Amino acid sequence: MGAFIAKLLLPTISSLVFIPAASVAAKRGFHMEAVVYFFTMFFTAIYHACDGPGLSILCFMKYEILEYFSVYGTAISMWVTLLALGDFDEPKRSSLTMFGVLTSAVRIYQDRLGYGIYSGPIGTAVFMITVKWLQKMKEKKGLYPDKSVYTQQVGPGFCFGALALMLRFYFEEWDYAYVHSFYHVSLAVSFILLLPN
């Protein structure tokens, strides 16, 4: 009975790992990102709580709406994290943020379960960061940013992000509660690592 309850509660409890991500973001001065991580944590936790019996009292919205905002928050979290890594200046940063928010809203409304909800924002952001960093390298005639950023942030951050997406799309059917919970943890660790210090 205890293992059954643990499996029901594990995805809900693991959603709370976005709280440390929000805390680290706020401490580093990324307040918008912190709000987005908190939004993601809130809707993901409520969505998973509504999945199982006994916690349906927490379902203050329709299940489909909670699912939408859980997926939407995750996609936007990825987008704003990568934009923070890219260190874009204003007004470009605000414009790119709104572009991602609006296009993700439409894309997720069309299909909440497909690869495109994450691959589109990630691919676009990585492309923009690559172009910006290559321009900086050309101007600087050297590596940009420093090697330590690649070895301590970008490399590990993308590894945890890739692990999270592999768990989400390829391994969830193994044991949903445990795999999906580890997906939450991997994603939150990725956000923390990718946010600039």
Q: For 20-39, how does the pLDDT look when each residue is reduced to its tens digit (9 = 90+)?
A: 999 999 999 999 999 999 99
In terms of C-beta density within 10 A (0-12 exposed, 13-18 middle, 19 or more buried), how is residue 13 classed? middle
Backbone angles phi, psi at 96, to 5 degrees: -65, -40
Contact 75, 101 (CB under 8 A): no
Query: What CA–CA distances, in Å, run from 118 to 58, 144, 164?
Result: 28, 26, 11
State how far the Cα of 37 lies from the Cα of 81, in Å rounded to an integer: 10
Contact 192, 161 (CB under 8 A): no
Which range marks the domain in which residue 29 is found? Answer: 2-194
Q: Structurally, how many domains does the chain consist of? A: 1
Quick one: pLDDT at residue 4?
66
Q: What is the pTM of this model?
A: 0.92
State how far the Cα of 65 lies from the Cα of 48, in Å rounded to an integer: 12
| DSSP H helices in the chain | 2-14, 18-27, 31-51, 63-86, 92-110, 116-140, 147-149, 155-166, 176-194
- The residue with tokens 């489909």 is 64
Average pLDDT over residues 75-101: 95
Q: Give which of 188, 128, 119, 194 is closest to 157, Cα–Cα.
A: 194
pLDDT in tens, 90-145: 899 999 999 999 999 999 998 888 888 888 889 999 999 999 999 999 999 999 99
Q: Give which of 69, 66, 77, 65 is closest to 36, Cα–Cα.
A: 77
Quick one: pLDDT at residue 2?
65
Average pLDDT over residues 154-174: 93
